[in-house]
Amino acid sequence: MSSHSNAAAAIAAARERARALDRDDPLAFTRSEFNIPTKAQIASTRLPDSATAETGSGDGATDKCVYLCGNSLGLQPKRTQTRISQYLSTWATQGVQGHFKPLDESPLPTWLDADERAAQLIAPIVGASEAEVAVMQTLTANLHLLMSAFYQPDINGKHKIMLESKAFPSDHFAVETQLRHHNLDPATSMITLTSPSSPEDNILTTAEILSSIDAHAATTALLLLPGIQYYTGQLLDIPTITAHARRHSIFVIWDLAHAVGNVSLRLHDWNVDAAAWCSYKYLNSGPGCIGGMFVHERNSAVTRAITEDRPEEGYTNRLAGWWGNEKGTRFVMANKFHPVKGAAGFQLSNPSILDITSLSASLEVFAEAGGVGALRDKSVRLTGFLEELLSSGVGEEERGLFRVITPRDAEQRGAQLSLMLKGGLLETVMRELERRGVIVDERRPDVIRVAPAPLYNTFEDCVGFVEAFAEALAVARRERGL
Ligand SMILES: Cc1ncc(COP(=O)(O)O)c(C=O)c1O
């Protein structure tokens, strides 16, 4: 048999296996909580009326697309529309009273309590107490707020910020501009980590990170790292790195954009100093929706009464706004800042209830699924299945055209696999995948990221992807004469 017919046989067998795995999956029910676009919808260039968009009726209604892009933007839970309609009805019928008047039969909190309710829902997802999390702002803004509170450089001692050399650009810009804000020069106050053992992909081993911390311990004030690296999909050893940095009195902030809702996190027990995340990836809250932050309880205590003569004493200094003030005195309108104890004391403005309603709708689904622990178990199996099929379900000629750069060890990755293509193939492969109703994302010049999300993806989706990917590679190979 040719390598192509071997691969086709592997795909057929995998599809049978996938259907059985999906049938036996105790979490299969959560897929029906989501709007999964059909192939016809993702090919369409017209805005459908909302009824069609929701139910997926019309051409190809049962022919769902293969959406493996939850690492970029999670799909929409069906209840988002319901909860947002309920919020809009509250606003329409109650006006300003929505802030404080509870309504019979409403599943929604009053707007004054919406941030607290959302914090209750997110706390178990990041492994924190409710007081240690705040649902607020957006990821980059929260990184700036955390650095403004906890980065206090001493030019004669600890003044450097350490981050990875291939950090997400927003994190890099945030660090660079924090340094400049303190009149420091990034050339001398910024340390960027590179991996000697993996110069091409920059998969940083824990040992490499710890030894860089040792090398710069005397001059480093702050470490900013991603829980999961956006490009490679590598999951870092958060507890070990945190413990090591803290032993050297380095304040540790984690960017959890790709980790939250994806892998199990125990931020409190791991002694993490602070963290921030967005909610539009694995948390499915919608594009640009409200983010969140974690501040370990030791870093946000309000230890002394705030008095007239010493208004700033008794709590970590920070850039503040009225929503960070204790609820009891928030509306007194006195110009004396009494922060809420905990992460909520870092809030600035009254939060968008539209955003919080959207996020909370999705977090309800997480709670019904039994939390991240159960989802992570399924995720490990889904991604492992995908990985295995990428070698057996792709013909020999095409197999040489890509490699998986994500660590092979399930403990060192989340849902995502990053596939590095041979130079010049990306555009054709993406075009051909799209033609076949497969949505993944690209990171130029040569990487595609593929992430089965256990809340709504199936084992059969993984088969659909590999089948289409093999065909797309074959087209790209022919086009390039390889
Ligand atoms: C790792 C990482 N950090 C930061 C950001 C920036 O997020 P935001 O635009 O919500 O500030 C992203 C966005 O995707 C990201 O993936």
Local confidence pLDDT in tens for the 482 residues of the chain:
577 788 889 999 999 999 999 999 999 999 999 999 999 999 999 998 775 565 554 444 469 999 999 999 999 999 999 999 999 999 999 999 999 999 999 999 999 999 999 999 999 999 999 999 999 999 999 999 999 999 999 999 999 999 999 999 999 999 999 999 999 999 999 999 999 999 999 999 999 999 999 999 999 999 999 999 999 999 999 999 999 999 999 999 999 999 999 999 999 999 999 999 999 999 999 999 999 999 999 999 987 766 666 656 689 999 999 999 998 888 877 788 889 999 999 999 999 999 999 999 999 999 999 999 999 999 999 999 999 999 999 999 999 999 999 999 999 999 999 999 999 999 999 999 999 999 999 999 999 999 999 999 999 999 999 999 999 999 999 999 88
User: Which residue's alpha carbon is nearest to atom 7 within ligand 1?
Assistant: 139
The tokens of 257 are what? 């954009």
Are the C-beta atoms of 348 and 137 separated by less than 8 Å? yes
Q: What's the angle, vertex CA 74, arms to CA 68 and CA 78, rounded to 5?
A: 115
Top mutation candidate among 172, 278, 285 for ligand 1, by most atoms within 8 Å of CB: 278
Q: How far is CA 178 from CA 101, 149, 161, 279, 329, in A?
A: 41, 11, 9, 24, 32
Judge whether 140 is annotated as a binding position.
Answer: yes
Are the C-beta atoms of 314 and 304 separated by less than 8 Å? yes
Judge whether 139 is annotated as a binding position.
Answer: yes
Distance 41 CA to ligand 1 centre (A): 27
Q: DSSP string of 130-155?
A: GGGEEE-S-HHHHHHHHHHHH----T
Judge whether 280 is annotated as a binding position.
Answer: yes
Distance 253 CA to ligand 1 centre (A): 14
User: Which residue's alpha carbon is nearest to atom 8 within ligand 1?
Assistant: 139
Task: Give the torsion through C-alpha atoms of 133, 231, 158, 245, to 10 deg.
Answer: 70
Would you give the DSSP letter of residue 67?
A: E
User: Which residue's alpha carbon is nearest to atom 10 within ligand 1?
Assistant: 139
Q: How far is CA 378 from CA 21, 308, 383, in A?
A: 10, 55, 9
Residue found by looking up tokens 């259907």 in the block: 19
Judge whether 170 is annotated as a binding position.
Answer: yes
State the average pLDDT for the chain: 94
Q: What is the pLDDT of residues 324-362, one digit of tens each?
A: 999 888 887 778 888 999 999 999 999 999 999 999 999
Ligand 1 neighbourhood includes 168 CB (under 6 angstroms): yes
Q: How far is CA 477 from CA 3, 422, 423, 432, 443, in A?
A: 15, 10, 11, 12, 20
Ligand 1 neighbourhood includes 344 CB (under 6 angstroms): no
The tokens of 452 are what? 């089965």
Distance 333 CA to ligand 1 centre (A): 35
Ligand 1 neighbourhood includes 279 CB (under 6 angstroms): no
Ligand 1 neighbourhood includes 278 CB (under 6 angstroms): yes
Judge whether 258 is annotated as a binding position.
Answer: yes
Residue found by looking up tokens 């293509």 in the block: 421
Q: DSSP string of 207-265?
A: HHHHHHHHHHGGGEEEEEEESB-TTT-BBP-HHHHHHHHHHTT-EEEEE-TTTTTTS--
| CA dist., res. 90 & res. 107, Å (int) | 11
| CA dist., res. 265 & res. 248, Å (int) | 23
Q: What pLDDT shows up at residue 1?
A: 57
Q: Which atom of ligand 1 is nearest to the CA of 142?
A: 11
Ligand 1 neighbourhood includes 372 CB (under 6 angstroms): no
Ligand 1 neighbourhood includes 230 CB (under 6 angstroms): yes
| CA dist., res. 439 & res. 420, Å (int) | 17
Q: What is the pLDDT of residues 423-481, one digit of tens each?
A: 999 999 999 999 999 999 999 999 999 999 999 999 999 999 999 999 999 999 999 98
Task: Say how many residues make up the chain.
Answer: 482
Q: Is 445 helix (H, G, I), strand (E, B) or coil?
A: coil
Would you give the DSSP letter of residue 401?
A: T
Q: What pLDDT shows up at residue 59?
A: 46
CB-facing half-sphere around the CA of 287: CA atoms within 13 A: 1
Q: Which atom of ligand 1 is nearest to the CA of 139?
A: 11
**Domains in the chain with CATH codes:** 3-27+37-74+371-480 (3.90.1150.10), 111-358 (3.40.640.10)
Q: Is 121 helix (H, G, I), strand (E, B) or coil?
A: helix
Q: What pLDDT shows up at residue 204?
A: 97
Judge whether 456 is annotated as a binding position.
Answer: no
Ligand 1 neighbourhood includes 289 CB (under 6 angstroms): no
